[in-house]
Structure 1
Amino acid sequence: MKKLLLLFLHSILIVGTANQLLANNIQITSLSVGDRTAEQKLPLSFTISWDNAWRVDNGQNNWDAAWIFVKYRNHNQEYWQHASLSFGSGHSVTATQGAIGGIIESSDDTGSGQSKGVFLYSSSSISQQTVSYDVTLEWDYGFDAQGDGDTFDIHVYAIEMVYVPKGQFYLGSGSTLANYETDPFYTHDGGSLSSTTTPYLVLSEEAITVGTSSGDLYYNLDGTDTGDLQDGTIPASFPKGYESFYCMKYEITQGQYASFLNTLSSDQISNNYNDKAVWRENLIYDAGAGEYSSTTPSFAQNFLEHPYAMNYMDWSALRPMTELEFEKACRGTLLVVENEFAWGTSNINATVYGTSGSGDSEEVTNYNNASGNANYVTVNSTISGVTRVGVFASNADNTGRETAGASYYGIMDLSGNVYETVIPVSTSEGRSYDGSHGDGMLNAFGIYNQSGWPSSSSTGSIGGRGGAFNTSQNELRVSNRVNIAKDFSTLRFLLGGRGVRTAP
């Protein structure tokens, strides 16, 4: 007899209306389970859909995808665990709208044939279409040491990601203007008064020499929060952005973070949540329901002080982005533009935004349809805090990448709104990062436990790139490293983040 399993549909919902480069309303419905197999595996079937999906097989040669993972709670236990999915077989997908077919890809995360999640994307070129897929994933519950007679609560999660393909790219914008970019990367010419205007070309994932010989990667340490390590080697294991990876399309939202908190114990929550309710951080706890939620679930989550964002990444089986990957995600493989923002130009709106509507339906007014739009201090006095992720892309006056505030690959808000949590190369702690993925489980105190990640307690192990709603426009520039090793303990209200994952 098949035991009862309580099933929960849990997608990360980002609301918008149909438009180019829009927030994409990813949803999971109709979750059901099949019969357990003799090999102690269990099929989980559901429908997943999202809007404005794309796949481009030329030019930037990339696509958007859903990162899908599963959490379960055994009825004999009080805590949630991460489900191990079969690797290489046991899954199926059928496209039911907008795409000819779908592709499911995953990695052997355990080394013995199990994955911590899967990527799903279109098998053929599509352009800004609503897609829907019927999906079956196979949970290897035997590998997770669960019994044939056990019953469970099950949550299925989906996060929208963007594929960043393999390829060489440049670090540094070659800025010739003082004070626009602090301590950007450049290629040293070997001279005693080296020019700082030659960008550095990343050609592989091999180790990079930092130093003052001709051809070395170099950066100054003029800023007070840019680190203390200016020589030596960036190890081969440190992700440099040359190899392909997936990046969250949006910053971690308040809805996503509430879902994360709802799977933690009280001890774990105490190390992942501060009740702030300022700067439009609207997380609330409903004691009656015993759950966290937000009145603005699609707004960026700020107050992600170290190690909150990295805890979320470990929990979702993603990993932190390095500052080299940040520049690749922004600029792509294009030649540099001096002092550029994530949208590839040095143009930026300077008119104060207003708002219309409320909650997740809010849109910005005074939108600039001829320049880059971003949330930063000059334009934020009316908004006074974070905005809905992708808000500039969903505006009716959006004309393309620049006005949407989109990166070369279609990743949103890499300039402005909240700082991106990244791993620096200018500290020894940062260089110790090996790019390993989260395993989906935190320790008993709610802290990430990946040995190849920088320490959760040391200063300089993480930094911020891309600026935020209360910073100057210069901090939004792609190559500005002014806070790459900053202690954000007094500026935590500006800090957010997004996870990445090395492509299968």
Structure 2
Amino acid sequence: MKTYLLLLGALMLLCGSLAANNITVSNARVIAPTDYTTADIAFDLSWDNSWRLDTSPNNWDAAWVFAKYRVDGGPWQHVTLGSVSSSPTDVTVELMDNKGAMIYHSVTASGTASFTDVRLAWDVATDGYDGMGLLDLQVFAIEMVYVPEGAYSLGTGPDPDPANNEVDEFYTCCEDRLPYVVADAGAILVDSVAGALFFNDTEDPNATVSKRPALRTGSIPAAFPEGFSAFYLMKYEMSQQQWVEFYNTLTPSQRTARNISVQTSDRDNDGWRNRVDTSLTNVASTTNPFVPVGYLSQNDMYTYLDWAALRPMTELEYEKAARGTAAPLNREYAWGTTASRTGSYVLSNKGASNETVQGPTVSGTVRGNATLGTTDDTEGIIAGPLRCGIFAASIPTASRLYAGASFYGIMELSGNQWESVVVMTSLEGRAFTNTHGDGTITSQGLYDVATWPTTRNGVGFKGGRADNGPNFGRVSDRTYTTLQFSTANSRYKWLQTRGVRGL
């Protein structure tokens, strides 16, 4: 982390730049005001593998940028942004709810994004800073992908062999069981009547925990984010470095609640690659910064999203993000085919920012790459998720199939770690709306967004994890959307989330 110390009259500013998931904020600085009503936060921003397409799927990647500040070592607070002061040529800087900015190419582009001297106006007066005391400022950036507005399909349709159908997948009721088309942003009828959205509710004979009953009648309200409307989704699963950066802004009481390194019934261990260390009093660290974080609970995940001014993803948005507008394919994975890697990977540069896998082919046939089931390295020492975006960095040529990427270029939606989603199988889940976190959590370290689920009844899991069989990684598989886990505080090594900014 680079630091900058500026002494301007009575105002002392300590500004930091942080890097995670190969995205970097550098040259961060505050251009101090004279009247302490506004101030410019200026910085440079860069990340690799960036794009904007003017052909299908007509989308782009972006950086969600927000900032935190504290005075004289006090508690960290979320920066309120007033406007965009200036932006580089051919770059869009879109302010959202005054809590952060989405920054992306405004013209067709491909390769490294490098934006110099982006300036956001800080509403100092609203935040109540009067220019007195030592000011610490941190600027955070998270890579996102834009998922455009439009119709898409849920479910993949029936297979002649029922054993090949995804568990409890969505379909259009009743006889033909064809995929259900989400054609607009209105309410969706759920029922066993012709034309309605429907699904089975079966027991998994291999499950070690019981299911909760699924609500299969009524309507999914129009306010529920059903995937038709456009949204931004995190490009990668949350890294351990991102979690550490969040944790290090918390107060002592908040850290006690969000300490994922303490012993639990599913405690961290080297075998699952979790290396978040909170043994030092004032700072957390990790020796696996680029590997996805695990050992999260519902409360951990949602508190991070509230802090970052994002929101959770719904299970319908998951299918849209993976499949896009393409025609559904029975038993498909996020990369759009039914072929998944079956042989083990050999890992290079383990734990480093350039961690890669060797040999992304099997018997001469290119298969979608994912960390699922039998893909542990030949030395048998992975036993857990691989680093965020590893397959895109390992491929010999640009390819959605090689990279294991979704229709929109989102990584690891199949495999690695389970994707936490808000489900539509309970009243609590259906009460969820497109309401984002405000950057502020409670003094006890908990999210407080009114429409978000507060119990496990509103939460499920999609996409599979590193030690799962390949079937769990299929886009329409819903085996784990209604499993009943213990509590909202229960932590699991394979669980985490992705943040969304809905539009």
- TM, length-normalised to structure 1: 0.90
Residue 38 (structure 1) shift: 3.7
Aligned match for 2:49, one of 34, 48, 52: 52
Alignment of 1:85-234 (within 5 A): 85-86=81-82, 89-95=83-89, 101-107=90-96, 109=97, 115-176=98-159, 177-178=162-163, 180-189=165-174, 194-196=175-177, 198-223=178-203, 225=211, 227-234=213-220
Structure 1 residues 295, 175: CA separation in 2 closer, same or farther (over 3 Å shift)?
farther
Alignment of 1:282-297 (within 5 A): 282-285=275-278, 287=280, 290-297=282-289
Q: Does 1:241 align with 2:227?
A: yes
Please identify, of 484-493 and 46-55, the stretch whose mean Cα deviation from structure 2 is larger.
484-493
Task: Return the alpha-carbon distance in structure 2 between the equivalents of residues 226 and 48 of structure 1.
Answer: 45
Cross-structure match for 1:20: none
Cross-structure match for 1:475: 472
Residue 29 (structure 1) shift: 1.0
Residue 61 (structure 1) shift: 0.5
Task: Return the alpha-carbon distance in structure 2 between the equivalents of residues 136 and 280 of structure 1.
Answer: 38
Contact 2:47 2:114 in 1 (8 A): yes
3-state SS of the aligned residue for 1:91?
Answer: strand
3-state SS of the aligned residue for 1:498?
Answer: coil
Cross-structure match for 1:466: 463
Q: Does 1:82 align with 2:78?
A: yes
Alignment of 1:261-340 (within 5 A): 261-275=247-261, 276-278=268-270, 279-285=272-278, 287=280, 290-340=282-332
Contact 2:419 2:463 in 1 (8 A): yes
3-state SS of the aligned residue for 1:28?
Answer: strand
Residue 246 (structure 1) shift: 0.3
Deviations along 1:388-431, one digit per CA (max 9) or x if unpaired, are: 01111111435500111100000000000001110000111111
Structure 1 residues 90, 64: CA separation in 2 closer, same or farther (over 3 Å shift)?
closer
- How many residues align? The count is 470
Cross-structure match for 1:385: 384
Task: Return the alpha-carbon distance in structure 2 between the equivalents of residues 459 and 215 of structure 1.
Answer: 30
Contact 1:175 1:181 in 2 (8 A): no
Task: Return the alpha-carbon distance in structure 2 between the equivalents of residues 281 and 39 of structure 1.
Answer: 43
Task: Return the alpha-carbon distance in structure 1 between the equivalents of residues 316 and 46 of structure 2.
Answer: 32
2:305 aligned partner, one-letter code: M
Q: Unmatched 5+ residue regions in structure 1?
A: 15-24, 96-100, 110-114
Task: Return the alpha-carbon distance in structure 2 between the equivalents of residues 344 and 28 of structure 1.
Answer: 33
2:274 aligned partner, one-letter code: E
Cross-structure match for 2:450: 451
Contact 1:405 1:413 in 2 (8 A): yes
Task: Return the alpha-carbon distance in structure 2 between the equivalents of residues 405 and 359 of structure 1.
Answer: 20
Computed over aligned residues only, the root mean square deviation of the Cα atoms, in angstroms, reads 1.8
Deviations along 1:31-55, one digit per CA (max 9) or x if unpaired, are: 1211325471111111111122110
Alignment of 1:483-498 (within 5 A): 483-489=480-486, 492-498=492-498
Please identify, of 201-210 and 31-40, the stretch whose mean Cα deviation from structure 2 is larger.
31-40
Task: Return the alpha-carbon distance in structure 1 between the equivalents of residues 165 and 418 of structure 2.
Answer: 17
Deviations along 1:57-78, one digit per CA (max 9) or x if unpaired, are: 2210100111000001122x62
Structure 1 residues 227, 159: CA separation in 2 closer, same or farther (over 3 Å shift)?
farther
Task: Return the alpha-carbon distance in structure 2 between the equivalents of residues 442 and 36 of structure 1.
Answer: 28
Task: Return the alpha-carbon distance in structure 2 between the equivalents of residues 146 and 67 of structure 1.
Answer: 24
Residue 2 (structure 1) shift: 4.8
- TM, length-normalised to structure 2: 0.90
